[in-house]
Amino acid sequence: MPPQNNQQKAKKKQAIQKNVASKHKLSKTSGAGGIKKQKTVHHGKPSYRALDDNTLTLVQQKRGGFFDFKPLPIKKKKITKGAFRFESNPTVHGYSSGYHESGITTDTTDHLWNRTQLGNGLSAFPSTAPNPLKGEKFYESNVDSILKAGDGARTDTAQTILSVPQVNGGGSAGHSGSNVKTTKQKQAHDLLRKTTVDMLRDNDMTPGVASVTFGALTVASMAPGNLASQAVDAKKIKASQIKDHWESQREEAKSRVEHMYQTLSPKEQARVNHHMSNVFKSLPSDRRLANGRCTSPVRDKKRVGTNALTGGGYVSSSNDVLPTPTHSLPIKGNMSNEEYARTATLYMTQPFRGRRK
């Protein structure tokens, strides 16, 4: 898309958001909430490109993502149930894996495509949708950004063990297709659904905020190794090669999220902080955000005792600096561009996907 079109689209969206905000105040909240300025993280090399991402199939590489947004404007397109989900496919590790939508879930997109447009820039989820989606109102102008950023937020079900909110007892839950017990999987997914609703209701949402929030949400929702190891049958996880690299993969994803976080404006960073603060308030009290960051502090990557997966507690109570990510996304990229923001989400969640054949 030509740069001029991007500028026109951005101006149009800003105008819509200002108009909506003046008439229907949904979630104008405070900024960083006293969070300190983030320390600098150096940018890694080489640069990431979806076309070179071997955790994607050839079709996904060429498409620059999973769902094909090109045939019709997404707001006008009606799709079949479950169309946002991508089918299982073989990896080089000897197993096939489907995908966990770690930002906007497939059922959320199903209900989003059946939304009612209320006028004045507002829409609503159907009254037939389950909680926490049922009847919720949100800004129509946020839909495209949320969908495209959410498309890139995918992890392999074969290596996904989720964090369970404190209100549901905490702990961890295996994902369908992981070979790990899936008790409380729904409650873990509800945290993602609620966060998506909050993002849709944010009148300061941008493609960059959507992308980085989904990246940070993915890391937080993927249970740390010492917690994931408590899930029943964690030792039987389908992606057996991940057992010795669980926490190092989380730390790599974490460093990528912070790398992209620094490309955002201070106002955008404040919105990411707001959403991730709410996420961590829902998690057990021993989970926390690092000062000035949208992810948690660095964790010990070693295995604790005979745990099924590597990973221990936080290594420091100070604002420790994350390691440089093994790949970076070019800073010259424009995070206000929805396609670039989708690529950024693919980049941030890549460590949670296995290499495809």
Residue by residue, pLDDT tens for the chain (357 residues) are 444 455 555 554 554 444 444 434 454 443 333 334 444 444 446 789 999 999 999 999 999 999 998 765 566 667 788 999 999 999 999 999 999 999 999 999 999 999 999 999 999 999 999 999 999 999 999 999 999 999 999 999 999 999 999 999 999 999 999 999 999 999 999 999 999 999 999 999 999 999 999 999 999 999 999 999 999 999 999 999 999 999 999 999 999 999 999 999 999 999 999 999 999 999 999 999 999 999 999 999 999 999 999 999 999 877 778 888 998 886 567 888 999 999 999 999 999 999 999
Q: Is residue 115 part of a domain?
A: yes
Helix/strand/coil for 322: coil
Any domain includes 250 = yes
Tell me which amino acid residue 356 is: R
Integer Cα distance of 253 and 198 in angstroms? 23
Would you call the peptide bond into 165 cis, given omega within 30 degrees of 0 as the criterion? no
Contacts 24+ apart (CB under 8 A), 47-54: 47/327, 47/328, 47/329, 47/330, 48/327, 48/328, 48/329, 48/343, 48/346, 48/347, 48/350, 49/343, 50/343, 50/346, 53/346, 53/350, 54/355, 54/356
Tally of structural domains, the chain: 1
Does any domain span residue 19? Answer: no
Q: Residue 19 is encoded by which pair of tokens?
A: 């108009």
The answer as to whether 340 is a domain residue is yes
Q: What is the pLDDT of residue 14?
A: 56
Residue among 39, 188, 184 nearest 101 (CA):
188
Peptide bond before 207: cis, by omega within 30 degrees of 0?
no
Angle, to 10 degrees, between the axis of helix 143-151 and the axis of helix 338-349? 30
206, 197, 213: which is closest to 137 by C-alpha?
A: 197
- 336: tokens are 């206000």
Asked whether residue 146 is domain-assigned, the answer is yes
For 324, which DSSP code?
P
Q: The whole model's pTM is what?
A: 0.87
Cα first-last separation, the chain: 31
Q: Is 21 part of a structural domain of the chain?
A: no
**CA 54/CA 287 separation, integer angstroms:** 32
> How far is CA 275 from each of CA 33, 129, 191, rounded to the nearest angstrom?
11, 23, 12
Is residue 17, in this structure, part of any structural domain at all?
Answer: no
Listed in sequence order, the residues at least 6 apart from 286 whose beta carbon sits closer than 8 Å to its beta carbon are: none
Task: Determine, yes or no, domain membership for 18.
Answer: no
- Measured CA to CA, the distance from residue 66 to residue 49 in angstroms comes to 14
Whole domain around residue 322: which residue ranges?
A: 37-352
Alpha carbon 134 to its chain centroid, in Å, reads 22
Backbone angles phi, psi at 39, to 5 degrees: -75, 155
Distance CA 221, CA 226 (A): 14
